[in-house]
Structure 1
Amino acid sequence: MKKIAITLFLILGSLTIQAQELTWQTDMNKAMEISKKSKKPLLLFFTGSDWCGWCIRLQKEVLKTPEFAKWAKENVVLVELDFPRRTPQQPEIQRQNQELQQTFGVQGYPTVWFVNATKKDGKINLEKLGSTGYVAGGPSVWLAGADQILGKKK
């Protein structure tokens, strides 16, 4: 009986770990390459990871759930555009994130934009599909809104 309990615990633990193994890109060029190959839009997550309470809450209630992980793997390429206050960041990532913040007119965090990205003659073209932020109600409510932005019917 003890062996069965341990086995179940290990299986459930590994499933939880797998669900949380999402890859968040921080380099827009790399994210755009993945988007082009996979034919999936980008989910741009503008966050203040080490200071923004609503960002941390969105992460905990939605972005780090198994439901979101399953949905994200099927529907989008994840891009984290972080604006930390205490965590050091590479200057090129800071510059990239600030440029995108200005491009999208982001004034508060968290902000999530869904975009189709293309590159033509070295220039990035971002087609805005829609945006959202923190939405109360857990993953099902947030994902329903995301599906609506992406034009998916449930």
Structure 2
Amino acid sequence: MKRLLLVGTIVFLSAAFVRADSNWLTNYDEAKTKAKSDNKFLLLDFTGSDWCGWCKRLKAEVFSKPQFQDYAAKNLVLVELDFPRAKPQTQEVKKQNMQLASQYRIEGFPTIVVLNADGQKIGELGYMEGGAEAFIAAIEKLRKS
């Protein structure tokens, strides 16, 4: 019985972690189509998820917070463009991410590029103090400019 409870708990916690990241897409073309059809802005997160300290802080202090997740669900299509050192990626994803980094002239991590529903760049952000509230305010300022 204890073993069954342990297995159930592990499955439940695993599902929670998957669900938390399931709002993030990795295919830019798919995300762009979704943004256009849903009339939402695109948030491109250029990150080094397994080595970049500021990227990890941004995820922990902003992206993982319910306040940001609720805001994003209503207003954004989220795209993770990762440049990991150890985490495996397909060649297709690596190529796409490199092309987008070149297109948007990414020079450091994390860099957040915000695009309107038509795919036009409206602004760029990085890590900032203040958590989800400050980050959402910065996105709103870009959206209204």
**Does structure 1 conserve the Cα–Cα contact (< 8 Å) formed by 2:34 and 2:77?**
yes
Secondary structure of 2:94's counterpart equals helix
The equivalent residue for 1:105 is 105
User: Conserved in 2, the CA contact under 8 Å of 1:22 and 1:69?
Assistant: no
Structure 1 equivalent of residue 6 of structure 2: none
Matched, 1:134 2:127: yes
- Higher RCO structure, 1 or 2 (CA under 8 Å, sep 6+): 2
**Whole-Å Cα distance in 2 between the matches of residues 117 and 97 of structure 1?**
20
RMSD between superposed Cα atoms in Å: 2.1
Say if 2:106 is the partner of 1:149.
no
Could you tell me which runs of 5 or more consecutive residues in structure 1 were left unpaired when the two chains were aligned: 1-16, 119-125
> Mapping of 1:7-18 within 5 angstroms?
17=16
Partner of 1:6: none
The answer for the alignment partner of 2:74 in structure 1 is 74
1:86 matched to 2:79: no
Identity %: 41
Greater shift, 104-113 or 28-37, is seen at: 28-37
Secondary structure (helix, strand or coil) at the match of 2:23 reads coil
Q: Distance in 2 between matches of 1:32 and 1:105?
A: 19
Task: Kindly indicate whether the alpha-carbon contact (under 8 Å) linking 1:20 and 1:66 is maintained by their aligned counterparts in 2.
Answer: no
Find the structure with the greater CA-based Rg.
1
Query: Could you tell me which amino acid in structure 2 is paired with residue 114 of structure 1?
Result: V
What's the TM-score once normalised by structure 2's chain length?
Answer: 0.83
Offset at residue 32 of structure 1 (A)? 1.4
Aligned to 1:7: none
CA deviation profile, 1:42-68 (whole Å, cap 9, x unmatched): 100000000000000000000000000
